[in-house]
Amino acid sequence: MKPTLIRNLKRDRTYFLLLAPVLLYYVLFKYVPMFGIIVSFKDYNLFAGVWESDWVGFKYYKMFFQNPDAYDIIKNTFVLGIYKVVFGFPAPIILALLLNELRWKAYKRFVQTVSYLPHFLSAVVASGIIIMLLSPSTGWINHVIQSFGFEPINFLQKASWFRTVYISSEIWQEIGWGSIIYLAALTAIDPQLYEAARIDGANRWKQTLHVTLPGIAPAIVILFILQSGKILEFGFDKVYLLSNAATYETSDIIATYVYRMGIVQGNFSYATAIDLFMGVIGLVFVYSANQVSRRLGETSLW
């Protein structure tokens, strides 16, 4: 009798073969680069290489926390991340529910296609569009505001507007794409449930509340847990492109700081230390979200 493992490997060899490329991808592009985190404990010199550089322990971690800006940068990152979840997470669910209620199929398809489109714009193009639209002297949005008799708003040069602009642009770009999963989950709901609800006298709103939402709840929970891991993960490029000296107060986040210190100033060890620290916090977030979800219901990642 052969050991179970070998027997299983042999039996499912086709599946394992299919899995191999993906596994290789993760090893090569996600795990091998992680080896680079040791430079955060070293005084890394590009040309001496990782092994030759001297160990410096927690020097760069201390350096970050002694920086008077550290608190602001961490706060900006968290606030922007939390806003993104609070406002950005429900948006695709609402869109999916609305689309689900549409009777006219052609119109529904049209709306879906149009709302997917911005997802495929690169951050540079999207930021270019946003900067042009929001310009107080030539921008279209400010022309509309002025035509109603209001003063033009200098959106991109007021720190207080930065988060609103960024989060709205994120929603604009991702709402359609994000709704795909929910629309798929909606199709899996048994039509008999709706019939039963109608017989019991439930109107459209009650049906949505008591049949549709519980139907897609598992999908919502899983996506929420995944999202909570990404609270601190931003499309760095868009934040960077939309910010300027006047908005640093709210727009300078870990990613832009790491870019300035690491790439622009060439201090790789310092940048790696900050980023590793943020990675650990991200892990804590996912873990706690998962724990909470496991306590509250039966859905969890692991």
- Output 108 or 260, the one with its CB closest to other proteins: 260
d(CA 272, CA 36): 8
d(CA 178, CA 171): 9
- Output 97 or 129, the one with its CB closest to other proteins: 129
- Output 154 or 164, the one with its CB closest to other proteins: 154
In whole angstroms, the minimum distance from the beta carbon of 112 to other proteins comes to 25
In whole angstroms, the minimum distance from the beta carbon of 37 to other proteins comes to 8
- Output 135 or 207, the one with its CB closest to other proteins: 135
In whole angstroms, the minimum distance from the beta carbon of 154 to other proteins comes to 5
Core vs surface per residue 138-171: b (16+ CB within 10 A) or e:
ebebbeebeeeeeebbebbeeeebbbebbbebbb
- Output 35 or 205, the one with its CB closest to other proteins: 35
The angle, 0 to 180 degrees and rounded to 10, between the axes of the packed helices 70-88 and 90-101 is: 10
Query: DSSP characters for 185-236?
Result: HHHTS-HHHHHHHHHTT--HHHHIIIIIHHHHHHHHHHHHHHHHHTTT---H
- Output 208 or 249, the one with its CB closest to other proteins: 249
- Output 179 or 247, the one with its CB closest to other proteins: 247
Number of other residues whose CB lies within 10 A of the CB of residue 233? 16
CA-closest candidate to residue 170, choices 213, 225, 234, 257: 234
In whole angstroms, the minimum distance from the beta carbon of 25 to other proteins comes to 10
In whole angstroms, the minimum distance from the beta carbon of 214 to other proteins comes to 23
N- to C-terminal Cα separation, the chain? 33
Q: Which residue has tokens 């000296």?
A: 245
Q: Which residue has tokens 């709103």?
A: 205
d(CA 251, CA 242): 8
- Output 32 or 196, the one with its CB closest to other proteins: 32
Q: Is 199 left (phi over 0), alpha (psi -120 to 50) or beta?
A: alpha
d(CA 15, CA 12): 5
In whole angstroms, the minimum distance from the beta carbon of 139 to other proteins comes to 8
In whole angstroms, the minimum distance from the beta carbon of 203 to other proteins comes to 37
Write out the two tokens for 246: 């006047």
In whole angstroms, the minimum distance from the beta carbon of 113 to other proteins comes to 27
